[in-house]
Each structure stands twice: as structure tokens, then as C-alpha cells.
Structure 1
Amino acid sequence: MHAKRPRPAANLMAQVSLIASRVGICGWLRIRCKATRFRLASAGEMGLCPQRPALSHAPTWAGRRGRPYGNPYMVDTRILLWRSLSSLILWTLVLTMVILDWRTGCWLVIASFGLLAQREFYRAEQTKGHIVYSKFGLFCGFLLFLNSWYFLVWKGLGEGDPHSLRVVETVWWVEGVIVVFCIIGSLIRLVVSGEPKPQPIVSLALTIFGFLYVPYLFNFVAKIAFWPDPVNETRIVLVYLLAVTKFSDLGAYVTGILLGRHKMIPRVSPGKTWEGFAGGIAISLGVSLALVWYFPVQLQGIGMWGALLLGIVLPLISVVGDLAESVIKRDAAIKDSGRSIPGIGGALDLVDSILFTAPVLFFYLYSKAHL
């Protein structure tokens, strides 16, 4: 007995849905590619392209090595629109601070994103049932940013000032005191709480790690922005850092959607591909060279050779930062660190790569200027 033939209308809608998903216009056509709605059609019933995989295989086609019919990833146009709008607003905010040279306002933005990202990290760990001393950790993070504001903004010296090295030593000395205070304070908090904790060492380790992972590393952005650099104009260096890092993420995202075939580390981040990785480095390198060419005086401490080196190293470090946050989110069984930024997720999703690239760029510039 022959199998019941699928309805022509169903086959037609299935084909339109599949084609629309491949060209990324599902959101505009209001077509939802739910392939399980349609019964599996045989090769004979498909007729035109018997070698094409059946529609019921479309959700798992992303895992196939060969994709001769283009990229099967469906792009949610609504999320892409929100992501673009959020990115535009954030870049407008950054460029406004840079053009106006409003140092206190820039510090407020840096400190706000840093503390919000640290709070999201603590919340991610709390979703797993861990006890974290989040208030004390956030207080220590605030002290770090306050230290940078007081010595680099409030009492900041001009670029090229002969006493700048003294400011460097003072900032690092106070930072060391804050780190020791965080470690000892967490131990005291654990002892004086008086409540038996199921995993006291885990609570202690997560509190200190959250402090070192987010505000301590992100504070290097404030150092880059307000450091008394004798060679470079620091506000342009800040734009350079953000542009090279975030365009690396953008290039990897777009290239991965269009050309991605080979998974990078599927157990950690299933969406990342080697093609996207290469595309991110290429675009980041182009942005690095273009900025140094356009600002030859403001970025003279980097130079074209430095732009070539940093254009390759920074996107590599950026991927490491992105994967590190993916490990944290996968361990906490969450997709995004928060919902504070529409289309992007949380603050930690936004700054994850900058957490790793900012220290690298800072020590590169500092070594060239003072060593």
C-alpha cells in the first residue's frame, strides 16, 4: 500500500520556509521554519532536487560537514535589529564621551558596566545553588574603580608629565592593598557569618574569582583611558581598543553565519566556527591598520608594525575571553548573563572579550613607553 502523498500546499510552504531560512529573511516574511509540521517527503516526491536532505533534517543540518546549499542557520531578524540598535547606542555613547573629553562621565560608564558584569557573574553562580558574598565582592570592585578615578581623573596628571611614573606606582600600590583586602575580608566574612555553609571554600573562591575576573581586569580599560601616556592620546587609544576588539566579534559573527562550516569547540560554544574565527581576525586586522593610518599622531606609540601585531594578537585574545565566558554560562546552564542590553544579553556578554584584550594592550603600551 502506497504511503499517503503530502499535500501540495504543505510541500510548497515547506520549500518556501527552507529557502527563506537560508537567505535570512524569515523574520521579514513572518515565516516560521517548523519543519516538524510537514511529513517527510521521499526523493521521488521531492522531484526537483532528489539529492537535497529532507525537510525534517533541517534543524540538524547545521551539524553536517557539507552544506552545498548555503548556510542553514536561521537569523532572527528581530534579535539582529535589537543587537544593531544597542550597538549603535553604545558606540554613540562612547564617541560622545571621547569627543567631549568628559573624563568623569567616561569613568562612570566604565565603572557601571564593570560592576554590572560582576553582579551578573555572581548571579550566574547563585543559580547553581552556590553561596557567594556578592555584596562584599561588589564593594571591593567599586574600590578598584574608585582608586582609578581618584588618582587618574581627580588628581590626574597630564600626558607626558614627569611625575606620571609616581602616579603609576601609587595606583598599583593601592590596587594591591584592595586585592589583599578582598581576600582577607572574604575569609573574615566566612568566619564571622556563624552559619554552617555547605561548601565554604567554593563560596570563598567564587567571591574572590568574581572580583579578579571582572572588575580587576575591566579596570584596565579605565587605566588605558586615563593613563598619563607620554606618547599616545589615551582617548583615541580607548577607541582603538574597543574597535579592534568588538569588530573582531562582529567579523566572527557575520563570517560564521555566511561561511561557517567547521565547528571550533562545540562542547564549549556550539555556534563558533573556524571560518568565523578567521574572518574576525581579518576584519580586526583591517580596523587596526586603518585606525593607526587615520590617527598617525595620536597613535604614534603603536605604529604600523604595532598595528599589524595587535591586529592579530588582540582578536586571538578576544576569542579566549569569549570562550571563557561561554564556559561559565554553560556551567551555570544559562544562555545569556543577563537581559540588560537588548539583542546582546547582559553586561558580561558585552565586555567578556574586553576583559582579556584591555590588559594585553595596556601592558604593551606601558612597556613601550617606560621600558
Structure 2
Amino acid sequence: MPQPVGLLALSTANAPYEMAQEDVLAAARRVMEPNFPNFARLAPVFATAGILKRQSVMPMEWYLEPRGWPERMAAYLAGAVDLFEQAARAALDEAAVTGAEVDIIVTVSSTGIATPSLEAQAMGRLGFRPDAARVPVFGLGCAGGATGLALAARLAASEPGATVLFVCVELCTLAFRMDGLTKADIVATALFGDGAAACVLRSGAEGFAEIAGYAEHTWPDTLDIMGWRVDPQGLGVIFAQAIPPFAREKLRPAMDAMLASQDLTAADVDRFICHPGGMKVVEALEASLELGQGSLDHERAVLADHGNMSAPTVLYVLDRARRAGLPKRSVLTALGPGFTASTVTLAA
């Protein structure tokens, strides 16, 4: 990295409607069980996912009716722009920066389509300059919080003194499906929530952490592990392979290689800050990285309070970790479609 990049601010923004996991299960049973014979066999995932409550951009009743592309994307545009504004405004306020002082805006979102993209939609609300560079990124999925932060850091390092705003917004609940149900749809209904997070970065500036490195690893022949299917009803989740056993077996060698590229080993890392895809994924991460069982406490807390929000989730974990006090060196990491592991190394 040419010049150290300071992480000046971090904020999160919750979607407006809260759903208790027991209420989601009751609604899912009422609507899904008549059309999906194996629902009773899969229903325990609602209890074992480690989730107590989640937030959504629409009230629960909205999801119980058939919805097609136009309705889902209208809900995405309205909800995502609002959450973008909330997260960005809070991060800018924390950094004591105005929208007019932002030079580059990196936006990550994979749960809907907006053209013009979200940062353009929010431009007037936040007072961005007409010459601000816009970098919208689609398709990163759950890895987007880590990969997007790394991209923002690369851009900040390449333009010394530039202020970079990174925002990720995911409305995973808009992919809840009641038609042609699959096992993946049931799991998604048990796991996913909505949320947003934002960061402000600047090279050469002192923040609550310094971005000291980043790395990615994409495994070959894994395109079908995670992604979206697209049909007239909207986006539907693909889980072609079980992710926890894959992470348990494959993550550690990839992590060792990513750390080695920065002249580090796992022993040099004081805290791994992980994307909690679900309770079984958290347990697999602890096993693969040889962490003590239960050591990923912030990850469990975020999962319990917000569910899996895809890209923003790991930044929610980082926010809890920094409030508790970041150690000297931590590594933020997330797994996502590709199938890819993405890391950002932080120095406090």
C-alpha cells in the first residue's frame, strides 16, 4: 500500500421494521408449509440459526403476498436510498466531513438494481459535489463489506488527501419467496435481514484504525456455491453446497496464503472480525481459524440482533469490536459468491 489509509468513521443503519424470529417462523409455517412438504423437516433452522430478531424495509405482511420484479425493485429503490442516506450521513457526521467534501463514493449493493445507482439517487440529499467520482459495485454478496472496504482503501491510497465514502446497502428480505419453494428459500427466510453501513477513509489521516493491507482468494470451480437465480418473480437465493463444511476445510489454507502476502501469519493476528453468515458458519470459522469456541462473540451478537444482512454485516461486527476496543492488529474477513474470501487488515 503506497500510503497508510485512516479509517475515520463507521456507522450502521437499521431498516425500519423489526421482525422477531419466532414471528417469522409462525408466518413462514402458515404460508409455506401448505406448499412445501418438507417444511417441517427444515423448520428447525429458524431455531438453530442464532437469530433472535431482524430488521426489514417492509412490514411482515408485505412479504406474505405474491410480489414480482416491479414491486420488489420499487421497494428496493425506496428502502435502499433511505438507508444509504442514514448510514452515510452518520459516518460523515462522525468524521466531521460534509457531503461536499467527499471526493469518491464507493457503493456496494447486490440485492437490487438501481440505475442511476444509489449514490446518484442520494446525491441531492447529502450534498455531494457534481464532480465527485462514483463507483457502484454489484455482485459481491456477503463478501461486499470486506471487498468494498478494500476497494475504498485502494482508491484513497491512490489519491492522497482524497476523502472516500464507502457505503454498502443490502435488502436481502426482498428475495423472500413464496412461489416454487426450494430448501435454499427456506434457509434464506430463516437467515436474512436488511441493513446498511458506511465508512469514511482518507490516506495519511489518523482514524480509529489504519487499513494496513487487503487480500482476496477465489476458489476455482465454485461458482455454484452461492448466488442469485433470476426469474419473473425477482431474485432467488442459490445455496448449491453447504457453506459451513466448505469454510471449515478450505478457509485456513486460503487465509494463511492471504496473510503471507502481507508477511503475516495467523499468530500475528490479535482478532479476526468475521462475517457471521449463520451460527453454523460462525462455528466453522472458529474451527478453521483455530479460535476458541465462542471467541467470535461480536459476530454472535450481531447475528442475534440483525440476522445475516449480507455485505453490511461484517461492518456491524467491526463497529461492535471498535467500541469494545480494537487490538493492535485485526483482520476483517467475509465469504461471498465467487466463491471468495476477502480480507482487510487493520492496525489500531
Pick the structure with more strand per residue.
2
Query: TM-score higher than 0.5 here?
Result: no
Higher share of residues assigned helix: 1
Higher relative contact order (CA 8 A, sep 6+): 2
